[in-house]
Structure 1
Amino acid sequence: MENGELSELCYPQLNSSCRTPKQPPGQALLIYVLLSSISLLTVALNLLVIFAISYFRQLHTPTNLILLSLSVSDLLVGLLLMPVEIIYIEACWQLGDVACTLYYVADYVITSASVANMVLISADRYVAISEPLSYLSQVTKRRAWVAVSLCWLCSFVYRLLLLHDHLGEPGRSISCLGECVVIISNVAGTVDLVFTFILPVVAILILYLRVFAIAVSQARRTSSRVGAVQGQRLVKRSELKAARTLGIVVVVFLICFIPYYSPTLAGEDTSVDATSAAFEIWLTHINSCLNPIVYALFYPWFRKSIKLIVTLQILKPGSRDAKIL
């Protein structure tokens, strides 16, 4: 083997070494800038949500506790998962097989928790609209904390079961030294497809369709009391609001996750490589950047919170009790 070839290996002294991943200079710079910007934006947006909900007392509601949990999971994606994948775009994995497996366990747990929190938010909105009189007694802060904790616990246990083969034999999917790859079999991938994709999407669809139906029904009941013209206007607003929320939640989730599950849908094994900027992996992570936009930026209280934070009004005494809602 020539010296030029040796220099391209992760471990030049070993024939079983992988080659160092390389990108054309211009393309590599573009990838680094783009992915780093996404990572920073993900961290910044989710930090704003977390700080706002944690700081302002008026935002300490059961609904916002679930939103806080979602933002924590999305923050971890931007703070831990994205930087690792950026670093190893043109570098070999040198942290060992155990660290590689643990990285994927963390990746899957965070992603599962994020999806579970989305379903929780949908359920919370459904209860709030379908049972407005008993909502405050049914959905308390304590129950919200319990639900959020169960989401994280179930995500952790579920991923340990899904990756138990890799935990028992770290590096089983690695073909050469210097890569960090986990291959999910078609059977395990199908299970993951059902529990992390199909069931959450079905649950969100059903809940939001129910919300849509209830909103239209309430608007029609209101129209009988305030006049036909105004009633038609209320129905239109309710339909648009429900359709917009439903469309954003489902379409964004589908766009971000369908490419990742395409091998499973095609009956193939799913290969996940931390040492490459795989489009389908980054698309699922971008969902963590879009979540705070979908779930927070549409709320007026979030815009008010940003204004108070950016203008440093939070430094004033009593700012935690500011009227945000």
Structure 2
Amino acid sequence: MTAEDSPPSSYIGMEVVIALASVLGNVMVVWAVKINRSLRDTTFYFVVSLALADVAVGAFVIPLAIIISTGLKTHFYSCLMVACILLVLTQSSILALLAIAIDRYLRVKIPLSYKRVVTPKRAGTAVVACWLVALIVGLTPMFGWNNLQNFPTNDSQQPNPIITCKFEEVISMKYMVYFNFFIWVLPPLVFMLIIYVEIFYIIHKQLNHSLNKAISQTDPSRYYGKELKLAKSLALVLFFFAISWLPLHILNCITLFSPTPKTKNIIYVAILLTHGNSAVNPVIYAFRIKKFRTAFVKIWAQFVCCKKVKLSARKATRRKECSERKMREISDI
């Protein structure tokens, strides 16, 4: 590998920073859900699933991407497996975002029967289903839709030649564009956009009109106000996911339909955007969702600054949470 082919040190440095931020931030998200009972809501089953995928990106995908960028020579299927792991994690993130959008839609569309319809068991089943679909979609190249036929082989190497490992060398652009992007990325993003538009429409309609007497005693303006705030936060997560991943998919389309040489800097920026998305979500939660922010502060104070959390404060928090549950017929976040 020549010096010109080597990635700039600034790129590697930014990848390292993103990896650390992804792991630490998303571990705190999972931790926050564990220690805060009010965050143990069906929606946050999917948030935790999304966070675990982002932890894996920071802990495994980014380090492997750095190694690959240095021109690592390995067997074709070893390189292909690394590429497929990234595809699986990306697809699981998309499906988790889709599940979150559907969950929030049901929450505002059928508030009275939401708890009966969306049970923890069903939410857990949905999480498992998302990961199974992600595995099928992401591992499809392992079963033949790849670029193995582009490499000359001999009897000693067949059917697994040693190559310089690069994503575009092993993954077919037809798979990435026709199957991955046009079927499993773009339609879910468009569908989620439609869902959030409908969510905001329902919330604003309910805030501007009198509600059913059956839920009037639960202070509907407060309920839908909280739903609006959370919906905005989760829509922001979707927005950043879209702007982080669409540039790379657009580059893939250009590669397939108009294979002109692309500058390496553009490719590096597109890759950094996709990896950086894994570090963004905890920041959004911290600034936009109060209960996450409170949990993050508690974790930081107790386990980083080594400050003891007073037992009385914990008891007061529990009493407050219990009182809130008794006052609400419909759970709110």
The two structures share one fold, judged by TM-score above 0.5: yes
Output the CA distance in 1 between the equivalents of 2:149 and 2:31.
Answer: 38
Deviates more, 1:58-67 or 1:245-254: 245-254
Paired position in structure 2 for 1:290 = 280
Paired position in structure 2 for 1:70 = 50
Report deviation, 1:297: 4.1
2:74–2:165 CA contact under 8 A, matched in 1: no
Deviates more, 1:119-128 or 1:249-258: 249-258
Output the CA distance in 1 between the equivalents of 2:188 and 2:311.
Answer: 43
1:212–1:242 CA contact under 8 A, matched in 2: no
Output the CA distance in 2 between the equivalents of 1:316 and 1:171.
Answer: 64
Which amino acid is the alignment partner of residue 280 of structure 2? L
Which amino acid is the alignment partner of residue 12 of structure 2? Y
Paired position in structure 1 for 2:203 = 215
The one of 14, 20, 23 equivalent to 1:40 is: 20
Output the CA distance in 2 between the equivalents of 1:321 and 1:243.
Answer: 29
Which amino acid is the alignment partner of residue 209 of structure 2? R
The one of 279, 290, 304 equivalent to 2:269 is: 279
Report deviation, 1:248: 2.4
Output the CA distance in 2 between the equivalents of 1:113 and 1:74.
Answer: 10
Q: With the length of structure 1 as denominator, give the TM-score of the two structures.
A: 0.76
Paired position in structure 2 for 1:137 = 116
Report deviation, 1:246: 7.2
Report deviation, 1:185: 3.2
2:42–2:123 CA contact under 8 A, matched in 1: yes
The one of 8, 12, 27 equivalent to 1:28 is: 8
1:42–1:289 CA contact under 8 A, matched in 2: yes
1:208–1:246 CA contact under 8 A, matched in 2: no
1:144-166 Cα distance to aligned partner (Å, 9 max, x none): 11000000001111222344225
Report deviation, 1:206: 1.3
Note the aligned Cα RMSD (angstroms): 3.9
1:264–1:270 CA contact under 8 A, matched in 2: no
Match runs of 1:198-209 below 5 Å: 198-209=186-197
Report deviation, 1:264: 4.6
Q: With the length of structure 2 as denominator, give the TM-score of the two structures.
A: 0.74
Aligned residues: 293
Contiguous gaps of at least 5 residues in structure 1: 1-18, 226-232
Contiguous gaps of at least 5 residues in structure 2: 153-159, 214-220, 322-332
Report deviation, 1:100: 0.7
Paired position in structure 2 for 1:302 = 292
1:205–1:246 CA contact under 8 A, matched in 2: no
1:186–1:269 CA contact under 8 A, matched in 2: no
1:23-76 Cα distance to aligned partner (Å, 9 max, x none): 78xx83322322211111111110100111123334322111111001000111
Paired position in structure 1 for 2:99 = 120
Q: How has the CA–CA distance of structure 1 residues 188 and 34 changed in structure 2, closer, same or farther, with 3 Å as cutoff? A: closer
1:92–1:179 CA contact under 8 A, matched in 2: yes
Deviates more, 1:259-268 or 1:303-312: 259-268
Match runs of 1:64-103 below 5 Å: 64-89=44-69, 91-103=70-82
Deviates more, 1:188-197 or 1:35-44: 188-197
Output the CA distance in 1 between the equivalents of 2:234 and 2:33.
Answer: 24
Match runs of 1:6-25 below 5 Å: 19-20=1-2, 22=4
Q: How has the CA–CA distance of structure 1 residues 157 and 129 changed in structure 2, closer, same or farther, with 3 Å as cutoff? A: same
Output the CA distance in 1 between the equivalents of 2:315 and 2:11.
Answer: 40
Report deviation, 1:105: 1.3
Which amino acid is the alignment partner of residue 25 of structure 2? L
Secondary structure of the equivalent of 2:171?
Answer: strand
1:66–1:117 CA contact under 8 A, matched in 2: yes
Match runs of 1:122-271 below 5 Å: 122-165=101-144, 169=148, 172=151, 177-180=163-166, 181-186=169-174, 189-222=177-210, 241=229, 244-245=232-233, 248-266=236-254, 268=256
Secondary structure of the equivalent of 2:91?
Answer: helix
1:211-270 Cα distance to aligned partner (Å, 9 max, x none): 1111111111159x9xxxxxxx99xx7998589547624532331122111145447179
Paired position in structure 1 for 2:34 = 54
Output the CA distance in 2 between the equivalents of 1:240 and 1:136.
Answer: 19
2:108–2:227 CA contact under 8 A, matched in 1: no
